[in-house]
Each structure stands twice: as C-alpha cells, then as structure tokens.
Amino acid sequence: MVERHAEVIGGGIGGLTAATALAQRGWTVRLHERQSAIRAIGAGIYVWDNGLSALEEIGAFADATRGAHIGPAIEARSRTGRTLYRIDINGQGRPRCYTLLRDRLIAALVRAATTAGVELIADSAAVAADPGGRVEFEDGRSITADLIVVANGVHSRLRDRLGLTARRVRMREGAARLMVPASVDYLPPEDSVKHLEHFQGRRRLLYTPCTPESVYLALVADADDPATRGDGIDVDSWVRSFPYLAPILRAAPEVQIRWDNFEFIRLSTWSRGKVAFLGDAAHAQPPYLGQGGGTAMINAVSLAATVSDDLPLSDALARWEREQRPGIERTQKTSYRMRLLNSVPDRVRDPLLITAGRLPGLTHSQLAATRLRPATSGVDADIPLPERRGTR
C-alpha cells in the first residue's frame, strides 16, 4: 500500500477532526495552526447527534463530552419568560444534544489527533495553496502533499486566492458570547437545566448550561446595537429587554465578552485539484441551529473516508462533495432563514412561534441536520424526529 500524505491548514474543530480521521486511515498528516498554540475561540458549544456521531467515529466522544450538560429540552421564550414552543431532547427516540465548553472539545480533539499520530505545528501560517498539491507559508517554506485540507475559518486567504467564493454575506447580526458562573439564583430549578432562547425586538438571549459550574450566554443583536459594544455589555439595557433574566445578566458585567458577526459562505466548489475546503472556510452559517461545529466534523470524517477509498483523488473529492454538500447546504439555508425572525415585531412573532410549535414542518427543518451522519458510520440517516410541543 502506497503511503499518502496530507497537510491540514487550521487547528479548529474541522481541521483537527479531518487530521485525526485521515491519520486513522493510514495517512501521514501534518496540521498547521497559525497561532502560537491550538486553543479554543469562543465559550460554549452545542453538539447535536451528527457531531456526536463524528466524535464517536474518531474515538473522541468520551473525552470530549466528559462533564457535558445533557438537558431535557430546548425552549423558545418571550421576553417575559413565556414558553412559545419546546423541543424535547436526549430521551428515547429524541435527538441527542450535548452542550460543553469549547476548550474541552478542542483539547479532546488535540489528544485524539496526537494519539492517531498527527504532527501538530503551531506558529505556522499558510498563505497559499496550489491545486497541484503545494502549500506555501508566511516564513517562505513550501511543502507538497497528496492532499491539502483547508479548514482555517471564514477569513481563509487560501480560499480567496483560489477564487472559490460564490457567495459571502457578512450579516447584520452577531453575538456577544460569555461564560458566567452557574447559580441556583438565576432560574427556577426546572428551568435551569433547559436550553432557553429568548426573543425581544431584534435581540435574542440564549441561556445554555455547559457544566455544573458554568453557563454560556449568547446575546444576539445587530452589530450597531450600542448595548454590546466594546469589551462588555450594557447590563441595564439587556435587563430592560429581558427583565426576568435580571439575576443572570447582573452576573455578567465583569465578564469579558467576545463579539462575532455572523457570516454565510457558499463556495462554487469545495475542492480544486488536491485542495479541499471544509468548516467555516467552505460552509459558514449563523449559529441559529447550533450546527457549525457538527457539520464541520461530519464533513471532515466523510472527507477522510472518501479519499481513503481506492479511487483517484479527483473522483473521490467529487464524490465527497456530491454526497455531503446537499445536506450541509440545507442546514446553512435553514439557519440563514431563521434570521428573519429578528425583524418580526414581538406582538406578531410570539403567536407565530406558538402556532409553528404545533406544526411538524418547522420541527423537521430545524432538526434535519441532526440526522446527517459521517459517510462511514453505518447509522440509518432516516431516524425519526421528535414531536415538537407548542404551548396551549
């Protein structure tokens, strides 16, 4: 058997997963991270069934999910806390949805990559990738490979130099992300274990337990909203939007936030020659479905499986894209459409969501991505979706 070599650009969720899956299939793999160390960017993260299946495929599930929160339900709520609809999760016949700290996930993926034999190199910034299989670096180095996997985020210079972007939308909305210490004072016990998304005007507030000690908050607003500018948030302004969440918002003023604008990216093709793109570099989406990480992981495992088959690389990459792109792009489009709720007045949106919560169509569109599986899992993709419960 001829030994094949891959260079992976980007030490995030997609890059680490791809590197590990390739190494487990006999490739020699070198992964490059432009920062001085591989570390998490962000706070908490949702990992649904599809992402959990990818973690199982590469043997990182137990490590990544140790201490994760496994909640009973996801609820949409009004500014006053009224439940508009509910999706039951993590029970028999229901989709799995674990919430965990992003740095724990990254650390688990690093350990899986190291165990698989991946060579990890920090302070290594790629500046160009040639379809013939050569990648060039900022320090003047160039390296050849049988496959180059680019998973270096929405601002990928390698993607832009190859002119693959068909559509890129820097969205009006973004999120201030922060972690606060968990406390019994925030919410009633029956609510504190749920994932809660609140709506008011053009703002949303996502409450996500991640560990027994920490809660992840995402404060979604327009980029020009003055209450989320700088390194902190205007707590009083957010309390006026969501008065019943005052206790948890009052815990946030000393916590440094991370602000990110949402982006939508679609490529003309996911590969060019020996260069393949995945994750936010190829299919970035707003986080309304919590599927950015999950789609990156299943795409990474599927890529590794397909290019490891006995096919010419060009045929393998074409097959990978043909099989994976439709499901991932449906997920992107659903998430992108969900931004439209931000423009609907509360007096219209609240009854609209209550009604939608009683209908099966929206449930299936929102949860469809949880049914996606890596190409090698052998899991039936047509698992039943749970019933969605609206308020009466």
Q: Among the listed ranges 31-45, 112-126, 293-307, which one has the minimum average pLDDT value?
A: 31-45
The pLDDT, as a whole number, for residue 2 is 78
The pLDDT, as a whole number, for residue 42 is 67
Q: 376 pLDDT exceeds 90?
A: no
Query: Rounded mean pLDDT of 222-238?
Result: 88
Mean pLDDT of the chain: 93
Three-state DSSP string of 29-56: EEEECCCCCCCCCCCEEEEEHHHHHHHH
- Kindly indicate the confidence band of residue 311, based on its pLDDT and cuts at 50, 70 and 90: very high
Look at 387 and 51; give whichever has higher pLDDT.
51
Q: Which residues of 88-116 are buried (b: 16+ CB within 10 A; e: fewer)?
A: bbeeeebbbbbbbbbebbbbbbbbbbeeb
Assigned CATH for 5-169+262-390: 3.50.50.60
- Kindly indicate the confidence band of residue 7, based on its pLDDT and cuts at 50, 70 and 90: very high
The pLDDT, as a whole number, for residue 332 is 97
The pLDDT, as a whole number, for residue 378 is 38
Cα separation, 297 vs 29, in Å, equals 17
User: Following DSSP, what letter does each residue of 139-190 receive, concatenated?
Assistant: TS-EEE-SEEEE---TT-HHHHHTT-EEEEEEEEEEEEEEEEE--TTSS-HH
Cα separation, 9 vs 288, in Å, equals 27
The pLDDT, as a whole number, for residue 364 is 79
Phi, psi dihedrals of residue 180, rounded to the nearest 5°: -130, 155
Q: 389 pLDDT exceeds 60?
A: no
CA distances from 189 to 176, 182, 195, 240 (A): 26, 12, 13, 23
Degrees (nearest 5) of the Cα angle 267, 108, 248? 85
The alpha helices in the chain, defined as continuous H runs, are: 13-24, 49-57, 61-65, 102-116, 157-161, 189-192, 235-241, 246-250, 280-283, 292-307, 313-337, 346-356, 360-367
Phi, psi dihedrals of residue 235, rounded to the nearest 5°: -60, -45
- Predicted confidence (pLDDT) per residue in 240-278, tens digit: 999 999 999 998 876 778 899 999 999 999 999 999 999
- Predicted confidence (pLDDT) per residue in 145-196, tens digit: 999 999 999 999 999 999 999 999 999 999 999 999 999 889 999 999 999 9
The pLDDT, as a whole number, for residue 375 is 81
Cα separation, 294 vs 52, in Å, equals 8
- Kindly indicate the confidence band of residue 382, based on its pLDDT and cuts at 50, 70 and 90: very low
The pLDDT, as a whole number, for residue 352 is 95
Determine contact, residues 239/252, Cβ cutoff 8 Å: no
Instruction: Tell whether the torsion through CA atoms of 229, 203, 99 and 113 is positive or negative.
Output: negative
Q: 390 pLDDT exceeds 80?
A: no
Query: Rounded mean pLDDT of 190-215?
Result: 97
Residue 342: half-sphere exposure toward Cβ, Cα within 13 Å? 20
Q: 209 pLDDT exceeds 60?
A: yes
Cα separation, 363 vs 375, in Å, equals 24
The pLDDT, as a whole number, for residue 206 is 98
- Predicted confidence (pLDDT) per residue in 124-134, tens digit: 999 999 999 99
pTM for the model = 0.93
Determine contact, residues 78/199, Cβ cutoff 8 Å: yes
Residues with Cβ within 8 Å of residue 297, at least 6 apart in sequence: 13, 14, 17, 50, 51, 54, 55, 374
| Strand bridging mode 83-88 / 73-77 | antiparallel
The pLDDT, as a whole number, for residue 231 is 76
Query: Rounded mean pLDDT of 51-66?
Result: 98
CA quadruple 89, 287, 181, 176: dihedral, nearest 10: -160
The pLDDT, as a whole number, for residue 321 is 98
Percent of the chain with pLDDT over 70: 95
The pLDDT, as a whole number, for residue 1 is 59
- Predicted confidence (pLDDT) per residue in 313-350, tens digit: 999 999 999 999 999 999 999 999 999 999 999 999 99
Cα separation, 387 vs 384, in Å, equals 9
- Kindly indicate the confidence band of residue 384, based on its pLDDT and cuts at 50, 70 and 90: very low
Determine contact, residues 10/282, Cβ cutoff 8 Å: no
